[in-house]
């Protein structure tokens, strides 16, 4: 090979390399511009997050404190209600026991009254039958 031909070949290769490098830089330039804008936006986001974190955490603490207070009040109320339910259940049990005793007494009294009524009626029926017999026989009583 001739040295001039080699020189020409190397020159062409260097020119193609230069053109390819220019094309690469031209393609990379918008990418670098977009990367710069992305980094600026990320910095703004970081500043916003840093600025808003403290007030948000303070509000969150207040909400959690309120929830804890609500929880404790609710627990107290549930305890009070359960005690009242137990009291009412005990009272209802006592009243039911008294009512049962009372109804048993009333029932026994009612049954005794019916028996007495029927017994006196049967005795009265017998006395009436005796009166009728004495009237039929002509005997007076």
Structure tokens at 100: 């049962």
Range of the domain at 130: 1-136
141, part of any domain: no
Contact in structure between 134 and 140 (CB atoms under 8 Å): yes
Instruction: Give how many domains the chain has, as a whole number.
Output: 1
19, part of any domain: yes
pLDDT at 9: 93
Alpha helix ranges (H) inside the chain: 3-137
Stated pTM of the model: 0.38
2, part of any domain: yes
Structure tokens at 134: 């004495």
Mean pLDDT in order along the chain per 10 residues (141 residues): 88 96 91 92 93 90 93 88 76 70 68 78 54 48 44
57, part of any domain: yes
What is the C-alpha to C-alpha distance for residues 139 and 132, in angstroms, rounded to an integer? 10
């Amino acid at each position: 090979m001739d040295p001039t031909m080699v020189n020409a070949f190397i020159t062409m290769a260097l020119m193609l390399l230069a053109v390819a490098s220019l094309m690469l830089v031209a393609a990379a330039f918008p990418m670098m511009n977009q990367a710069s804008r992305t980094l600026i936006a990320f910095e703004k986001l970081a500043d916003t997050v840093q600025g808003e974190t403290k007030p948000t955490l303070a509000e969150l603490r207040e909400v959690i404190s309120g929830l804890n207070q609500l929880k404790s009040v609710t627990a107290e109320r549930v305890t009070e209600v359960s005690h009242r339910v137990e009291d009412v259940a005990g009272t209802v049990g006592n009243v039911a026991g008294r009512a049962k005793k009372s109804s048993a007494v009333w029932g026994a009294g009612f049954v005794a009254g019916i028996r007495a009524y029927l017994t006196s009626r049967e005795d009265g029926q017998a006395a009436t039958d005796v009166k009728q017999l004495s009237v039929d026989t002509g005997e007076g009583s």
